Amino acid sequence: MAEYDYDVLVIGAGPGGYVAAIRAAQLGLKTACAEGRETLGGTCLNVGCIPSKALLHGSEKFDEARNGTFANYGIKTGTVELDLDAMQGQKLDSVKQLTGGIEFLFKKNKVTWLKGYAAFEDAHSVTVAGQKVTAKNIVIATGSSVTPLPGVTVDNDAGVIVDSTGALALNRVPEHMVVIGGGVIGLELGSVWRRLGAKVTVVEFLDQLLPGMDGDVRKEAAKIFKKQGMDIKLGTKVTGVAVDGGKATLTVEPAKGGEASTIEADCVLVAIGRRPNVDGLGLDKIGLELNARGQIETDHDFATKVDGVWAIGDVIPGPMLAHKAEDEGIAVAENIAGLTGIVNHDVIPGVVYTMPEFAGVGLTEEAAKEKGEIKVGKFPMLANSRAKTNHEPDGFVKVISDAKTDRVLGVWCIASVAGTMIAQAAQAMEFGATSEDIAYTCHAHPTHSEALKEAAMAVTGKPIHM
Protein backbone atom coordinates (compact mmCIF):
# COMPACT_ATOMS: atom_id res chain seq x y z
CA MET A 1 0.00 0.00 0.00
CA ALA A 2 1.22 3.50 -0.80
CA GLU A 3 2.53 5.51 2.13
CA TYR A 4 0.25 8.46 1.28
CA ASP A 5 -3.20 8.79 -0.32
CA TYR A 6 -1.81 11.29 -2.85
CA ASP A 7 1.52 12.50 -4.16
CA VAL A 8 0.15 16.07 -4.17
CA LEU A 9 -2.73 17.65 -2.31
CA VAL A 10 -3.51 21.26 -3.21
CA ILE A 11 -5.58 23.35 -0.78
CA GLY A 12 -7.71 25.85 -2.74
CA ALA A 13 -8.87 25.74 -6.36
CA GLY A 14 -8.24 29.34 -7.44
CA PRO A 15 -5.95 30.16 -10.40
CA GLY A 16 -2.96 29.14 -8.30
CA GLY A 17 -4.36 25.92 -6.90
CA TYR A 18 -6.28 24.54 -9.87
CA VAL A 19 -3.35 25.17 -12.21
CA ALA A 20 -0.92 23.52 -9.77
CA ALA A 21 -3.23 20.50 -9.49
CA ILE A 22 -3.65 20.10 -13.25
CA ARG A 23 0.09 20.46 -13.94
CA ALA A 24 0.96 17.99 -11.14
CA ALA A 25 -1.49 15.45 -12.64
CA GLN A 26 -0.08 16.09 -16.13
CA LEU A 27 3.34 15.24 -14.73
CA GLY A 28 2.06 11.86 -13.60
CA LEU A 29 1.55 12.64 -9.90
CA LYS A 30 -1.55 11.35 -8.10
CA THR A 31 -3.28 14.63 -7.24
CA ALA A 32 -6.21 15.93 -5.21
CA CYS A 33 -7.45 19.47 -4.70
CA ALA A 34 -9.53 20.55 -1.69
CA GLU A 35 -11.97 23.39 -2.31
CA GLY A 36 -14.67 24.54 0.09
CA ARG A 37 -16.54 26.80 -2.35
CA GLU A 38 -19.38 25.22 -4.33
CA THR A 39 -17.61 25.84 -7.63
CA LEU A 40 -13.96 25.68 -8.68
CA GLY A 41 -11.93 28.67 -9.89
CA GLY A 42 -11.44 30.58 -6.63
CA THR A 43 -11.86 34.31 -6.22
CA CYS A 44 -10.86 34.99 -9.81
CA LEU A 45 -13.54 33.01 -11.61
CA ASN A 46 -16.33 33.30 -9.02
CA VAL A 47 -16.14 36.81 -7.57
CA GLY A 48 -13.08 38.49 -9.13
CA CYS A 49 -11.48 38.76 -12.55
CA ILE A 50 -14.24 37.14 -14.59
CA PRO A 51 -17.47 38.66 -13.20
CA SER A 52 -15.80 42.08 -12.99
CA LYS A 53 -14.70 41.90 -16.62
CA ALA A 54 -18.18 40.74 -17.68
CA LEU A 55 -19.68 43.84 -16.06
CA LEU A 56 -16.89 46.13 -17.30
CA HIS A 57 -17.48 44.96 -20.88
CA GLY A 58 -21.27 45.18 -20.65
CA SER A 59 -21.27 48.59 -18.97
CA GLU A 60 -18.78 49.93 -21.53
CA LYS A 61 -21.14 48.93 -24.35
CA PHE A 62 -24.03 50.61 -22.53
CA ASP A 63 -22.00 53.76 -21.95
CA GLU A 64 -20.99 53.93 -25.61
CA ALA A 65 -24.56 53.47 -26.77
CA ARG A 66 -26.07 55.95 -24.34
CA ASN A 67 -23.49 58.69 -23.99
CA GLY A 68 -22.96 59.61 -27.60
CA THR A 69 -19.74 57.79 -28.49
CA PHE A 70 -21.56 55.99 -31.30
CA ALA A 71 -22.36 59.38 -32.85
CA ASN A 72 -18.61 59.77 -33.53
CA TYR A 73 -19.01 57.00 -36.09
CA GLY A 74 -22.26 58.30 -37.55
CA ILE A 75 -24.41 55.81 -35.66
CA LYS A 76 -27.70 57.18 -34.38
CA THR A 77 -29.34 55.38 -31.49
CA GLY A 78 -32.84 55.74 -30.12
CA THR A 79 -33.60 55.53 -26.44
CA VAL A 80 -31.02 53.30 -24.80
CA GLU A 81 -32.23 51.42 -21.76
CA LEU A 82 -30.52 49.25 -19.21
CA ASP A 83 -31.75 45.75 -18.42
CA LEU A 84 -29.63 45.17 -15.32
CA ASP A 85 -31.03 41.68 -14.72
CA ALA A 86 -29.94 40.63 -18.22
CA MET A 87 -26.50 42.22 -17.75
CA GLN A 88 -26.08 40.36 -14.44
CA GLY A 89 -27.39 37.23 -16.17
CA GLN A 90 -24.71 37.27 -18.88
CA LYS A 91 -22.11 37.75 -16.12
CA LEU A 92 -23.40 34.66 -14.30
CA ASP A 93 -23.37 32.69 -17.57
CA SER A 94 -19.68 33.48 -18.09
CA VAL A 95 -18.87 32.49 -14.51
CA LYS A 96 -20.86 29.25 -14.80
CA GLN A 97 -19.23 28.23 -18.05
CA LEU A 98 -15.70 28.96 -16.85
CA THR A 99 -16.02 27.37 -13.39
CA GLY A 100 -17.66 24.33 -15.04
CA GLY A 101 -14.72 24.28 -17.44
CA ILE A 102 -12.30 23.77 -14.53
CA GLU A 103 -14.42 20.89 -13.26
CA PHE A 104 -14.16 19.34 -16.73
CA LEU A 105 -10.37 19.84 -16.74
CA PHE A 106 -10.10 18.19 -13.31
CA LYS A 107 -11.96 15.13 -14.62
CA LYS A 108 -9.95 15.08 -17.85
CA ASN A 109 -6.64 15.19 -15.94
CA LYS A 110 -7.82 12.86 -13.15
CA VAL A 111 -7.53 15.42 -10.37
CA THR A 112 -9.77 14.44 -7.43
CA TRP A 113 -11.85 17.32 -6.06
CA LEU A 114 -12.14 16.96 -2.26
CA LYS A 115 -15.21 19.06 -1.44
CA GLY A 116 -14.74 21.01 1.78
CA TYR A 117 -12.31 23.22 3.67
CA ALA A 118 -9.02 21.57 4.57
CA ALA A 119 -7.17 21.97 7.88
CA PHE A 120 -3.73 20.56 8.67
CA GLU A 121 -3.34 17.71 11.14
CA ASP A 122 0.38 17.44 10.45
CA ALA A 123 2.71 18.29 7.55
CA HIS A 124 1.44 15.34 5.50
CA SER A 125 -2.22 15.17 6.45
CA VAL A 126 -5.31 17.34 6.46
CA THR A 127 -8.94 16.90 7.41
CA VAL A 128 -11.50 17.73 4.71
CA ALA A 129 -15.22 17.40 5.49
CA GLY A 130 -14.42 15.13 8.44
CA GLN A 131 -12.12 12.83 6.41
CA LYS A 132 -8.38 12.52 6.99
CA VAL A 133 -6.40 12.68 3.76
CA THR A 134 -2.62 12.21 3.51
CA ALA A 135 -0.20 13.46 0.85
CA LYS A 136 3.54 13.49 0.32
CA ASN A 137 3.34 17.14 -0.75
CA ILE A 138 0.76 19.72 0.30
CA VAL A 139 0.44 23.03 -1.58
CA ILE A 140 -1.28 25.91 0.23
CA ALA A 141 -3.15 27.99 -2.37
CA THR A 142 -5.89 29.44 -0.17
CA GLY A 143 -5.84 32.92 -1.74
CA SER A 144 -7.09 36.08 -0.11
CA SER A 145 -10.20 37.90 1.14
CA VAL A 146 -11.29 41.51 1.47
CA THR A 147 -9.51 43.57 4.13
CA PRO A 148 -12.15 44.97 6.46
CA LEU A 149 -12.23 48.66 7.39
CA PRO A 150 -12.38 48.89 11.19
CA GLY A 151 -15.76 50.15 12.36
CA VAL A 152 -17.45 49.62 8.98
CA THR A 153 -19.66 46.54 8.66
CA VAL A 154 -20.11 45.12 5.17
CA ASP A 155 -23.57 43.64 4.45
CA ASN A 156 -23.64 42.48 0.83
CA ASP A 157 -27.27 41.29 1.11
CA ALA A 158 -28.53 44.68 2.27
CA GLY A 159 -26.46 46.30 -0.51
CA VAL A 160 -25.71 49.58 1.31
CA ILE A 161 -22.18 48.87 2.54
CA VAL A 162 -20.65 46.31 0.19
CA ASP A 163 -17.29 44.80 -0.67
CA SER A 164 -16.26 43.78 -4.20
CA THR A 165 -18.46 40.65 -4.07
CA GLY A 166 -21.50 42.75 -3.17
CA ALA A 167 -20.65 45.44 -5.74
CA LEU A 168 -20.57 42.76 -8.45
CA ALA A 169 -24.08 41.60 -7.56
CA LEU A 170 -26.08 44.81 -7.00
CA ASN A 171 -29.62 44.51 -8.34
CA ARG A 172 -30.11 48.27 -8.70
CA VAL A 173 -27.99 51.15 -9.95
CA PRO A 174 -27.08 53.25 -6.90
CA GLU A 175 -27.82 56.97 -7.04
CA HIS A 176 -24.56 57.79 -5.29
CA MET A 177 -21.85 55.21 -4.75
CA VAL A 178 -18.91 56.19 -2.54
CA VAL A 179 -15.85 54.01 -3.10
CA ILE A 180 -13.42 53.81 -0.17
CA GLY A 181 -10.01 53.11 -1.76
CA GLY A 182 -8.77 54.36 -5.14
CA GLY A 183 -7.01 51.13 -6.08
CA VAL A 184 -7.76 48.59 -8.78
CA ILE A 185 -11.10 47.32 -7.43
CA GLY A 186 -12.37 50.81 -6.59
CA LEU A 187 -11.65 52.14 -10.08
CA GLU A 188 -12.87 49.08 -12.01
CA LEU A 189 -16.13 48.62 -10.10
CA GLY A 190 -16.58 52.38 -9.65
CA SER A 191 -16.36 52.63 -13.47
CA VAL A 192 -19.00 49.91 -13.92
CA TRP A 193 -21.58 51.71 -11.79
CA ARG A 194 -20.71 55.19 -13.11
CA ARG A 195 -21.28 53.96 -16.67
CA LEU A 196 -24.60 52.43 -15.62
CA GLY A 197 -25.76 55.78 -14.23
CA ALA A 198 -24.52 56.18 -10.63
CA LYS A 199 -22.75 59.28 -9.38
CA VAL A 200 -19.43 57.92 -8.10
CA THR A 201 -17.13 59.46 -5.49
CA VAL A 202 -13.75 57.83 -4.79
CA VAL A 203 -12.16 58.54 -1.41
CA GLU A 204 -8.45 57.68 -1.41
CA PHE A 205 -6.17 57.99 1.59
CA LEU A 206 -2.98 58.61 -0.44
CA ASP A 207 -2.18 61.63 -2.63
CA GLN A 208 -2.66 59.60 -5.83
CA LEU A 209 -4.74 56.72 -7.17
CA LEU A 210 -3.42 53.26 -8.07
CA PRO A 211 -0.58 52.63 -5.61
CA GLY A 212 2.31 50.66 -7.08
CA MET A 213 1.95 52.10 -10.58
CA ASP A 214 4.32 54.59 -12.22
CA GLY A 215 3.97 58.20 -10.99
CA ASP A 216 3.00 59.62 -14.42
CA VAL A 217 0.36 56.92 -14.82
CA ARG A 218 -1.11 57.68 -11.41
CA LYS A 219 -1.32 61.44 -12.12
CA GLU A 220 -2.93 60.82 -15.50
CA ALA A 221 -5.40 58.35 -13.92
CA ALA A 222 -6.79 61.03 -11.62
CA LYS A 223 -7.26 63.39 -14.61
CA ILE A 224 -8.93 60.73 -16.76
CA PHE A 225 -11.37 59.51 -14.11
CA LYS A 226 -12.28 63.11 -13.19
CA LYS A 227 -12.93 63.83 -16.87
CA GLN A 228 -15.23 60.82 -16.95
CA GLY A 229 -17.29 62.38 -14.16
CA MET A 230 -15.99 60.64 -11.05
CA ASP A 231 -15.49 62.82 -7.99
CA ILE A 232 -11.98 61.94 -6.80
CA LYS A 233 -11.06 62.91 -3.25
CA LEU A 234 -7.34 62.27 -2.78
CA GLY A 235 -5.49 62.55 0.55
CA THR A 236 -8.78 61.90 2.35
CA LYS A 237 -9.65 59.32 4.99
CA VAL A 238 -12.99 57.90 6.05
CA THR A 239 -13.31 57.98 9.82
CA GLY A 240 -16.78 56.46 10.11
CA VAL A 241 -19.89 55.32 8.25
CA ALA A 242 -23.37 55.45 9.80
CA VAL A 243 -26.21 53.56 8.12
CA ASP A 244 -29.85 54.50 8.51
CA GLY A 245 -32.20 52.39 6.40
CA GLY A 246 -30.96 52.52 2.82
CA LYS A 247 -28.73 55.56 3.37
CA ALA A 248 -25.16 55.85 4.55
CA THR A 249 -23.45 58.92 5.97
CA LEU A 250 -19.66 58.87 5.71
CA THR A 251 -17.49 61.09 7.85
CA VAL A 252 -14.28 62.06 6.06
CA GLU A 253 -11.33 64.26 6.88
CA PRO A 254 -8.01 65.17 5.25
CA ALA A 255 -5.53 62.28 5.69
CA LYS A 256 -3.02 64.71 7.25
CA GLY A 257 -5.63 65.93 9.73
CA GLY A 258 -8.10 68.83 9.52
CA GLU A 259 -11.77 69.57 9.52
CA ALA A 260 -14.19 66.66 9.14
CA SER A 261 -17.12 66.71 6.71
CA THR A 262 -19.86 64.26 5.70
CA ILE A 263 -20.92 62.61 2.42
CA GLU A 264 -24.33 60.99 1.88
CA ALA A 265 -24.58 57.85 -0.25
CA ASP A 266 -26.96 54.98 -0.92
CA CYS A 267 -24.09 52.57 -1.59
CA VAL A 268 -20.58 52.40 -0.10
CA LEU A 269 -17.96 50.10 -1.63
CA VAL A 270 -15.13 49.18 0.72
CA ALA A 271 -12.07 48.39 -1.45
CA ILE A 272 -8.97 49.01 0.66
CA GLY A 273 -7.04 45.85 -0.23
CA ARG A 274 -7.06 42.10 0.39
CA ARG A 275 -5.38 39.87 2.97
CA PRO A 276 -4.21 36.25 2.85
CA ASN A 277 -6.60 33.41 3.83
CA VAL A 278 -4.89 31.52 6.66
CA ASP A 279 -7.55 31.33 9.37
CA GLY A 280 -8.68 27.80 10.20
CA LEU A 281 -5.86 26.17 8.21
CA GLY A 282 -4.21 24.83 11.36
CA LEU A 283 -0.79 26.27 10.51
CA ASP A 284 0.11 26.09 14.21
CA LYS A 285 -0.11 22.29 13.98
CA ILE A 286 2.74 22.24 11.46
CA GLY A 287 4.70 25.08 13.06
CA LEU A 288 4.41 27.40 10.05
CA GLU A 289 4.63 31.05 11.04
CA LEU A 290 3.39 34.06 9.09
CA ASN A 291 5.36 37.21 8.22
CA ALA A 292 4.39 40.67 9.52
CA ARG A 293 1.84 41.04 6.67
CA GLY A 294 0.14 37.75 7.51
CA GLN A 295 1.63 36.00 4.46
CA ILE A 296 3.33 32.61 4.17
CA GLU A 297 6.98 32.98 3.16
CA THR A 298 8.55 30.57 0.67
CA ASP A 299 11.89 30.16 -1.08
CA HIS A 300 12.35 30.51 -4.86
CA ASP A 301 10.91 27.04 -5.39
CA PHE A 302 7.73 27.90 -3.41
CA ALA A 303 8.76 25.56 -0.59
CA THR A 304 7.90 26.74 2.92
CA LYS A 305 10.10 26.15 5.95
CA VAL A 306 8.13 22.93 6.63
CA ASP A 307 9.33 19.96 4.63
CA GLY A 308 6.70 18.80 2.10
CA VAL A 309 4.58 21.96 2.45
CA TRP A 310 4.56 24.50 -0.38
CA ALA A 311 2.64 27.76 -0.95
CA ILE A 312 1.65 29.91 -3.96
CA GLY A 313 -0.64 32.74 -5.07
CA ASP A 314 -2.24 35.50 -2.99
CA VAL A 315 -1.29 33.79 0.27
CA ILE A 316 2.45 34.45 -0.33
CA PRO A 317 4.21 37.82 -0.95
CA GLY A 318 4.01 39.56 -4.32
CA PRO A 319 1.23 41.15 -6.38
CA MET A 320 -2.20 39.60 -5.80
CA LEU A 321 -2.83 38.71 -9.42
CA ALA A 322 -4.35 35.67 -11.09
CA HIS A 323 -1.59 35.23 -13.70
CA LYS A 324 1.10 35.43 -11.00
CA ALA A 325 -0.76 32.72 -9.05
CA GLU A 326 -1.13 30.59 -12.21
CA ASP A 327 2.55 30.79 -13.09
CA GLU A 328 3.46 29.91 -9.51
CA GLY A 329 1.04 26.96 -9.76
CA ILE A 330 2.88 25.58 -12.78
CA ALA A 331 6.28 26.20 -11.19
CA VAL A 332 5.45 24.55 -7.85
CA ALA A 333 4.09 21.43 -9.56
CA GLU A 334 7.23 21.20 -11.69
CA ASN A 335 9.45 21.61 -8.63
CA ILE A 336 7.54 18.90 -6.76
CA ALA A 337 8.03 16.64 -9.78
CA GLY A 338 11.78 17.26 -9.65
CA LEU A 339 11.89 19.65 -12.61
CA THR A 340 12.94 23.31 -12.47
CA GLY A 341 9.93 25.59 -12.08
CA ILE A 342 10.79 29.28 -12.07
CA VAL A 343 8.74 32.49 -11.95
CA ASN A 344 10.47 35.77 -12.81
CA HIS A 345 8.82 38.08 -10.29
CA ASP A 346 10.53 41.11 -11.87
CA VAL A 347 8.38 40.75 -15.00
CA ILE A 348 4.76 40.41 -13.89
CA PRO A 349 2.41 42.69 -15.81
CA GLY A 350 -0.44 44.47 -14.04
CA VAL A 351 -3.55 45.82 -15.79
CA VAL A 352 -6.50 47.93 -14.67
CA TYR A 353 -9.36 47.09 -17.02
CA THR A 354 -11.08 50.48 -17.15
CA MET A 355 -11.48 52.56 -20.33
CA PRO A 356 -8.76 53.41 -21.14
CA GLU A 357 -6.83 50.52 -19.58
CA PHE A 358 -3.79 51.19 -17.37
CA ALA A 359 -0.97 48.67 -17.63
CA GLY A 360 2.62 48.27 -16.57
CA VAL A 361 5.44 45.80 -16.23
CA GLY A 362 8.79 46.06 -14.46
CA LEU A 363 10.07 49.08 -12.58
CA THR A 364 8.33 52.43 -12.21
CA GLU A 365 10.40 55.47 -13.22
CA GLU A 366 10.73 56.36 -9.52
CA ALA A 367 12.03 52.89 -8.55
CA ALA A 368 14.33 52.68 -11.58
CA LYS A 369 15.92 56.06 -10.72
CA GLU A 370 16.73 54.82 -7.26
CA LYS A 371 18.69 51.92 -8.77
CA GLY A 372 20.80 53.94 -11.19
CA GLU A 373 20.89 56.14 -14.29
CA ILE A 374 18.01 55.67 -16.70
CA LYS A 375 16.65 56.94 -20.01
CA VAL A 376 12.95 57.44 -20.63
CA GLY A 377 11.00 57.57 -23.90
CA LYS A 378 7.35 58.60 -24.05
CA PHE A 379 4.80 58.67 -26.83
CA PRO A 380 1.19 59.98 -26.59
CA MET A 381 -1.73 57.89 -27.87
CA LEU A 382 -3.05 61.11 -29.46
CA ALA A 383 -0.23 60.78 -32.03
CA ASN A 384 -0.97 57.10 -32.72
CA SER A 385 -2.99 56.79 -35.93
CA ARG A 386 -5.19 53.91 -34.78
CA ALA A 387 -6.07 55.45 -31.41
CA LYS A 388 -6.82 58.73 -33.17
CA THR A 389 -9.03 57.03 -35.75
CA ASN A 390 -10.86 55.16 -32.99
CA HIS A 391 -11.55 58.44 -31.09
CA GLU A 392 -9.37 57.30 -28.16
CA PRO A 393 -7.13 60.29 -27.44
CA ASP A 394 -6.22 59.53 -23.81
CA GLY A 395 -3.00 57.92 -22.70
CA PHE A 396 0.64 57.34 -23.52
CA VAL A 397 3.33 54.69 -23.60
CA LYS A 398 6.49 55.12 -21.57
CA VAL A 399 9.61 52.98 -21.90
CA ILE A 400 12.28 53.12 -19.18
CA SER A 401 15.72 51.72 -19.92
CA ASP A 402 19.12 51.48 -18.28
CA ALA A 403 21.25 54.50 -19.35
CA LYS A 404 24.36 52.39 -19.95
CA THR A 405 23.08 49.09 -21.33
CA ASP A 406 19.74 50.32 -22.80
CA ARG A 407 18.12 47.19 -21.35
CA VAL A 408 14.39 47.80 -20.78
CA LEU A 409 13.58 48.10 -17.08
CA GLY A 410 9.91 49.02 -17.23
CA VAL A 411 7.06 49.85 -19.61
CA TRP A 412 3.90 51.79 -18.68
CA CYS A 413 0.92 52.28 -20.85
CA ILE A 414 -2.47 53.96 -20.84
CA ALA A 415 -4.54 53.02 -23.89
CA SER A 416 -7.85 51.37 -24.76
CA VAL A 417 -5.98 48.08 -25.28
CA ALA A 418 -3.08 48.61 -22.85
CA GLY A 419 -3.68 45.17 -21.32
CA THR A 420 -2.99 43.54 -24.67
CA MET A 421 -0.09 45.86 -25.54
CA ILE A 422 1.75 45.15 -22.30
CA ALA A 423 2.20 41.46 -23.23
CA GLN A 424 4.81 42.29 -25.87
CA ALA A 425 6.64 44.53 -23.40
CA ALA A 426 6.72 41.68 -20.86
CA GLN A 427 8.01 39.29 -23.49
CA ALA A 428 10.68 41.75 -24.63
CA MET A 429 11.84 42.19 -21.02
CA GLU A 430 11.82 38.43 -20.43
CA PHE A 431 14.18 38.12 -23.44
CA GLY A 432 16.41 40.89 -22.04
CA ALA A 433 15.54 43.35 -24.83
CA THR A 434 16.97 46.85 -25.18
CA SER A 435 14.76 49.79 -26.17
CA GLU A 436 16.54 49.64 -29.53
CA ASP A 437 15.39 46.02 -29.98
CA ILE A 438 11.78 47.17 -29.63
CA ALA A 439 12.34 50.25 -31.82
CA TYR A 440 13.76 48.11 -34.64
CA THR A 441 11.03 45.45 -34.43
CA CYS A 442 8.51 45.81 -37.26
CA HIS A 443 5.05 46.54 -35.80
CA ALA A 444 1.88 46.17 -37.87
CA HIS A 445 0.22 49.39 -39.00
CA PRO A 446 -2.19 50.78 -37.94
CA THR A 447 -2.11 49.37 -34.42
CA HIS A 448 -2.01 50.83 -30.95
CA SER A 449 1.17 48.79 -30.43
CA GLU A 450 3.06 51.13 -32.75
CA ALA A 451 2.96 53.60 -29.83
CA LEU A 452 5.23 51.22 -27.91
CA LYS A 453 7.67 51.12 -30.82
CA GLU A 454 7.67 54.94 -30.99
CA ALA A 455 8.13 55.28 -27.20
CA ALA A 456 11.11 52.92 -27.55
CA MET A 457 12.45 55.11 -30.40
CA ALA A 458 12.11 58.12 -28.07
CA VAL A 459 14.45 56.51 -25.52
CA THR A 460 17.59 56.98 -27.61
CA GLY A 461 16.46 59.18 -30.46
CA LYS A 462 13.28 60.58 -31.86
CA PRO A 463 9.96 59.01 -32.74
CA ILE A 464 8.70 59.64 -36.28
CA HIS A 465 5.16 60.77 -35.59
CA MET A 466 5.83 63.45 -33.00
By CB under 6 A, name the binding residues for ligand FAD. 11-17, 34-37, 42-44, 48-49, 52, 117-118, 141-144, 164, 185, 277, 281, 313-314, 320-323, 325, 353
Nearer to ligand NAI, 130 or 150 (CB): 150
- Site membership for ligand NAI, residue 205 (CB under 6 A): yes
| Shortest distance in whole angstroms from residue 167 CB to ligand FAD | 8
- Cβ distance to ligand FAD smaller for residue 19 or 433: 19
Output the smallest distance, CB 328 to ligand FAD, in A. Answer: 8
Residues 6+ apart with CB under 8 A from 350: 212, 213, 319, 321, 359, 360, 361
Q: Does 182 bind ligand NAI (CB under 6 A)?
A: yes
Cα–Cα distance for residue pair 146/154, rounded to 1 Å: 10
Binding segment for ligand NAI among 181-189, 364-372, 410-418, 444-452 (CB under 6 A)? Answer: 181-189
Pattern 234-253, ligand NAI, x by CB under 6 A:
---xx---------------
Residue 7 interacting partner from ligand NAI, ligand FAD, none (CB closer than 5 to 8 Å by kind): none
255-274: contacts with ligand NAI (CB under 6 A): 271-274
| Residue window 336-365: x/- pattern of binding to ligand NAI, with contact defined by CB under 6 A | ---------------xxx------------
Q: Of 110-118, 316-324, 405-413, 446-454, which segment contacts ligand NAI by CB under 6 A?
A: 316-324
Counting residues that bind ligand NAI (by CB under 6 A) gives: 26
Out of 105, 119, 206, 466, name the contact with ligand NAI by CB under 6 A.
Answer: 206
Q: Which residues pair with 416 in a beta bridge?
A: none
We find the least distance from the C-beta atom of residue 37 to ligand NAI, in angstroms, to be 17
Provide the minimum distance between the beta carbon of 152 and ligand NAI in the complex, in angstroms, as a whole number.
Answer: 9
Q: Which does 42 bind (CB under 5 to 8 A by kind): ligand NAI, ligand FAD, none?
A: ligand FAD
For ligand NAI, the closer of residues 37 and 275 by Cβ is 275
CA dist 225 and 210 (Å) reads 12
Give 118's strand partners.
Answer: 128
- Closer residue to ligand FAD (CB): 11 or 160: 11
Nearer to ligand FAD, 144 or 424 (CB): 144
In one-letter notation, the amino acid at residue 219 is K
Helix orientation angle between 184-195 and 215-227, rounded to the nearest 10 degrees: 20
Q: Which is nearer to ligand NAI, 120 or 353 (CB)?
A: 353
Angstrom CA distances, 129 to 36, 41, 110, 119, 216, stand at 9, 19, 21, 10, 50
Residue 211 sits in the site that holds ligand NAI (CB under 6 A): yes
- Distance between CA 320 and CA 274 in Å, rounded? 8
CB nearer to ligand FAD: give 48 or 190.
Answer: 48
Which residues does the annotation mark as catalytic?
445
Q: Does 184 engage in binding with ligand NAI (CB under 6 A)?
A: yes
| Interface contacts to ligand NAI, rule CB under 6 A | 149, 180-186, 188, 203-206, 211, 237-238, 271-274, 319-321, 351-353
